[in-house]
């Protein structure tokens, strides 16, 4: 997963921009410590959180969050390449499900992926036309205190997964609670009806 984040960062902000971000994280150097492409848990939550903070410090709070959204969207692309078959998302039987079932099953598969291959803990629930994505152990805001929800990379990843699952529709996806903001979980609300 760490490798996917780094690839996405380099695609969005370029190798030079990514190198500038990496140098701001004292516990990580992309050149010296490239996480291997394996499923070992070697990429710490502290590094991920500091990378998110460095984006905001480099680009400013608003632009840094926008960059994180874009990185999250690209993470889905790389994650689909790496894990799509394993999650069942690329199987014809999944693709032929009615959209509400595909949305729910896709969300469950993505949550299970994070729970299985990372130290992140995710659970999802349906409530009145919404899907709630609860991150109970969140790497994006790990050790941070913010005045706003800070998990924009996760929001971007979910936006892109919905776009892919729906065949090009856009959904309202908003983080309404964040551990860094003092909430018990990072909660991302997904409206099940597309806005376009």
pLDDT tens digits along 23-45: 888 766 544 445 555 555 556 88
CA distance 87 to 80: 9
Structure tokens, 113: 């992926």
Segment 171-183 shows an average pLDDT of 96
Domain ranges of the chain: 2-191
Quick one: pLDDT at residue 32?
Answer: 44
Of all residues in the chain, what percent carry a pLDDT higher than 90?
Answer: 63
Domain 2-191 has CATH 3.50.50.60: no
pLDDT for the residue 111? 95
* pLDDT tens-place string over residues 121-174: 999 999 999 999 999 999 999 999 999 999 999 999 999 999 999 989 999 999
């Amino acid at each position: 997963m760490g490798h996917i984040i780094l690839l996405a960062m380099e695609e969005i902000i370029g190798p030079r921009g990514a190198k500038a971000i990496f140098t701001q994280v004292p516990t990580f150097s992309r050149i010296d410590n490239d996480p291997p492409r394996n499923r070992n848990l070697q990429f710490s939550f502290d590094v991920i959180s500091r990378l998110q903070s460095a984006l905001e410090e480099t680009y400013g709070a608003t632009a840094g969050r926008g960059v994180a959204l874009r990185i999250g969207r690209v993470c889905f692309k790389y994650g689909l390449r790496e894990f799509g078959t394993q999650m069942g998302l690329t199987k014809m039987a999944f693709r032929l499900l009615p959209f509400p079932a595909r949305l729910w099953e896709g969300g469950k598969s993505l949550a299970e992926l994070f729970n299985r291959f990372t130290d992140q803990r995710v659970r999802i629930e349906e409530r009145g036309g919404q899907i709630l994505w609860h991150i109970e152990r969140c790497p994006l805001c790990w050790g941070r205190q913010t005045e706003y929800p800070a998990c924009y990379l996760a929001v971007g990843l979910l936006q892109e997964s919905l776009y892919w699952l729906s065949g090009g529709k856009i959904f309202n996806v908003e983080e309404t609670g964040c551990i860094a903001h003092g909430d018990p979980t990072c909660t991302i609300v997904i409206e099940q009806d597309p806005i376009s």
